[in-house]
Amino acid sequence: MTHRTRIKICGLTRSEDIAAVIAAGADAIGFVFYPKSPRYVTPQQAAQLTRGLPPFISTVGLFVNPSLEDIRQVLQQAPLSILQFHGDETPQSCADIAAAVNRPFLRAARIGPSTTSADLLEYELAYRTASPLFAGLLLDTLVEQYGGSGKVFDWSLIPEELAPRVVLSGGLSVQNATDAVARVRPYAVDISSGVEQAKGIKDAARISAFVAAVHAADASRI
């Protein structure tokens, strides 16, 4: 049986884009709760955007160094299924927040020029050990400012044993999706700027082409 690579589209701000994500057959939608981001949505907007979602679509809330109170405020209004920590959160702070709100969490590992494969294994172990709610690493490219950067990192750094449980992100696009899935074989992929017309404004045709490219890579996998 072939593996079905799960697909998350991040940085959604408009209901028509969410409709396009669902129509294309992606699995998860991401909301950015980082006020400095051009893709920021308020808890009220997220509540509106998640109303009437079909079952089995995961809703991921992306945070950068949040307090527990920040997360509680969002969860009071928007039904997030998973948290994504994208800042400098320690294993203990992720574990404490996730336990307090009883949600699984993804931890972004931001990969820069000096990151090694051993660093990634160590990083994953630290978060996995800290919490039973740790759901996996989301591998992203380190850039100076936080944000969907559209930049790719060196995929050969991903340890083989980690690949089947990571979410691969950072500079994915319609053009490189098939190659990324074929080479890395991740659990899931995550994209933001590669399916955008402008920051926070998605493009339905690119979303659909990206999902098709990932599914095509799955179908040709032996």
Torsion-angle region of residue 134: left (phi > 0), alpha (psi -120 to 50) or beta?
beta
From the list 17, 27, 94, 140, the catalytic residue is 140
Alpha carbon 176 to its chain's center = 17
From the list 10, 17, 94, 190, the catalytic residue is 10
202 binds ligand LARABZUK (CB under 6 A): no
149 binds ligand LARABZUK (CB under 6 A): yes
Torsion-angle region of residue 188: left (phi > 0), alpha (psi -120 to 50) or beta?
beta
Strand, coil or helix: 147: coil
Please identify which residue in 64, 78, 109, 168 interacts with ligand LARABZUK, judged by CB under 6 A. Answer: 64
Please identify which residue in 105, 124, 140, 211 interacts with ligand LARABZUK, judged by CB under 6 A. Answer: 140
148 binds ligand LARABZUK (CB under 6 A): yes
For ligand LARABZUK, the closer CB: 98 or 167: 167
Catalytic residue status for 140: yes
80 binds ligand LARABZUK (CB under 6 A): no
- Tell which residue, 127, 130, 129, 208, has the closest CA to residue 138: 127
Q: What is the DSSP string of 87-143?
A: SS--HHHHHHHHHHHT--EEEEEEE-TT--HHHHHHHHHHHHHH-TTEEEEEEEE--
Point out the residues that are catalytic: 10, 140
Q: In the complex, which residues of this chain contact ligand LARABZUK (CB under 6 A)?
A: 10-11, 32, 34, 37, 39, 62, 64, 86, 138, 140, 146-150, 169-172, 190-194
